[in-house]
Amino acid sequence: MQRILSMFLGLTLAMGVTAGCTKQRISAEKAIAATLISDEQEEDLGKQVKQELETKEKIKYVQDPAVVEYVRSLSAPIIRQANKDRPGVKWKINVIDDPKTVNAFATPGGYLYVYTGLILAADTEAELAGVMAHEAGHVVGRHSARAMVNQLGLQAVTQAALGKNPGAVATIATQLVGGGAMLAHGRGEELEADEYGARYASGASHDPRGLITFFQKLQEQQGGDGPGFMKWLSTHPANKDRIANIQKIIAEKKLRGSNNSPGGLPAIKQKLGAK
């Protein structure tokens, strides 16, 4: 039965891609992901992946409570909006202590991870809020769960959620930390997450163009500061199409968030050792 479902999933996705209708394809994928993995399974899977990240991938969290509290309170109004689009997710925000890596990712179950390197690379609260809102959008769209089912198969993922497939969990964790292509989202999902990101950031009164300036900044600095520096950019190519799409969403949906100030960010960056 599961094999048939997997085949059905592959076939439907292939048909969707051929049809080339992004919006319909995304909602079809979402519907399939929703029927394949329950919210409870997502939550269990997110928990397994977190344990793996901590034990095998040796991620370390920021200890300074002021930094953690800052990121959580910045994210709180974003999450309130994401909750309206997808109720029932128990969001968890983790700040990874790694100033040399500019990265952020989301896993099933509403786990959002942001690296201190990304916080240090942002200049305004709108930029950081834009990234957190974009990652929240991947959770709302159930993108991570779908990518995992696509790559590993339904059975491996449901077994992983039960804690019965350590190999699959290890693969997922390694891919996430390494910015690996296997779990990278497709173009349609990225555009969808950009749309959620712009809407949520604006709804939290941030300038929705923060996501655009952040992409542009990373692109300018590309190749500068060592291998880990541009991990987020490598899974989030900042091409002209992408930026034009965000601008279009801002205009069409009349997104009006105006906060474009550094706010409390410089003080937090100083705590993280910014020069």
Contact between 183 and Zn ion (CB under 5 A)? no
Q: Based on CB atoms, which residue is closest to Zn ion, 49 or 193?
A: 193
Contact between 106 and Zn ion (CB under 5 A)? no
> Tokens 């479902």 sit at which residue?
5
Alpha helices in the chain (DSSP H): 2-19, 22-36, 39-55, 65-85, 116-121, 125-140, 143-152, 154-161, 166-178, 187-203, 210-221, 231-235, 240-252, 265-271
Contact between 148 and Zn ion (CB under 5 A)? no
Contact between 114 and Zn ion (CB under 5 A)? no
Contact between 104 and Zn ion (CB under 5 A)? no
Pairing of strands 92-96, 104-107: unpaired
Amino acid (1-letter code) at residue 35? T
What SS3 state is found at 123? coil
Minimum distance, C-beta of residue 136 to Zn ion, in the bound complex (Å): 10
| 78, 193, 233, 238: which one binds Zn ion (CB under 5 A) | 193
Residues near Zn ion (CB under 5 A), total = 1
* CA atoms in the 13 A half-sphere facing the CB of 92: 12
Q: Based on CB atoms, which residue is closest to Zn ion, 38 or 222?
A: 222
Minimum distance, C-beta of residue 2 to Zn ion, in the bound complex (Å): 28
| Stretch in the footprint of Zn ion (CB under 5 A) among 52-60, 64-72, 191-199, 207-215 | 191-199
The residue at minimum Cβ distance from Zn ion is 193
Q: Cα 173 to the chain's mean position, in Å?
A: 14
Minimum distance, C-beta of residue 194 to Zn ion, in the bound complex (Å): 8
- Residues at the interface with Zn ion (CB under 5 A): 193
